[in-house]
Amino acid sequence: MVKKVDFSKQNKRKRSVNLPPLGTIGALFILIVTLTALFAPFIVRHDPFQIDATQRLIPPFWLEDGTLSYPLGTDHLGRDVLSRLIYGGRVSILVGVLSVFISGSLGLSLGLISGYFGNWIDSVTMRLVDAMLAIPTLLLVLVATVVLEPSLSMLILIIGLTSWVQYTRVVRGEVLSIKEREFVQSAQTLGAANSYIIKRHILPNVLSSFIVLSTIGIGTAILTESSLSFLGFGVQPPDITWGGMLNDGRNYLATSWWVATFPGLIITMTVLSFTFVGDWLRDLLDPRTQSRGADLK
């Protein structure tokens, strides 16, 4: 008997493979947001800080009474929403990147040291991790911002120092597995220094997971900053933040929805984009995923 081949299923499989991954879409969106934030002074048409009472609550250009001069409308003080969104991206990207740099560096170092040396160092580190996990991160950040002066630099430091736990847990778990492998034990037998073994043999093997966590962590940090600014405990006016814009527009949702809707959309899309990129990097850097893909071929 001749086995029939269902070409329709093969074609569907080929089409699904050729579709661009969500990570590509997320990366493009992040690139656009980053570039517009960097070159904001050359892009915006209106001063995002200028108050003009004669231009209050102008709707987006596609609605009645809207104008292309203010494509996304104006807020309750007559400020251009699009210009403020672009400038707000500067704060969000800065907070996300710098806070993850702080938390990632601290978490990576503690994870490497705790996992490799073990003993009392590992016990103390893990008890500290357990204590941090017992308190919700947002609540801890909120309390810290209330006690300390809420400024941009202080907010970055607070978010960075309260978000290192996940990096430590993941890196420590991988180090515990890697240090039992033959190439690490061979280096120890040959008398290689611990610092050399960590830097040369262990660190390269945990970087893929660390990069994935860092990418997703940027989106989480942006969401944390926006939440604090929305509650009034984040970056204070006149600095522009997406969370602050969301807070400004919450009283106008029934009559002038665009004031709060566009900041909410940009926050959601940015956080999702970093999540998509993180998932894509996980699939790209995980050798087990690559081997499964090769088996399917």
pLDDT 10s digits, 44-97: 989 999 998 889 999 999 998 889 999 999 999 999 999 999 999 999 999 999
Residue 8 included in any domain: no
| pTM score of the predicted model | 0.84
CATH code of 149's domain: 1.10.3720.10
Residue 16 included in any domain: no
What pLDDT shows up at residue 296? 42
- What rounded mean pLDDT belongs to the chain? 85
Residue 5 included in any domain: no
State the pLDDT confidence band at 168, using cuts at 50, 70 and 90.
very high
What pLDDT shows up at residue 32? 94
State the pLDDT confidence band at 288, using cuts at 50, 70 and 90.
low
What total of structural domains would you count in the chain? 1
Residue 15 included in any domain: no
Residue 17 included in any domain: no
Residue type, 89: G
Q: Which residues contact 165 (CB under 8 A, 6 or more apart)?
A: 107, 129, 132, 133
Residue 4 included in any domain: no
Residues 165/133, Cβ–Cβ less than 8 Å: yes
Residue 155 included in any domain: yes
What pLDDT shows up at residue 293? 46
| Structural domain that includes position 128 | 22-48+55-296
pLDDT tens digit sequence for 195-235? 888 888 899 889 988 999 999 999 999 999 998 888 888 88
pLDDT tens digit sequence for 96-155? 999 999 999 999 999 999 999 888 988 999 999 988 888 887 788 888 887 877 788 888
Q: Mean pLDDT check: name the lowest of 13-22, 156-165, 255-264.
A: 13-22
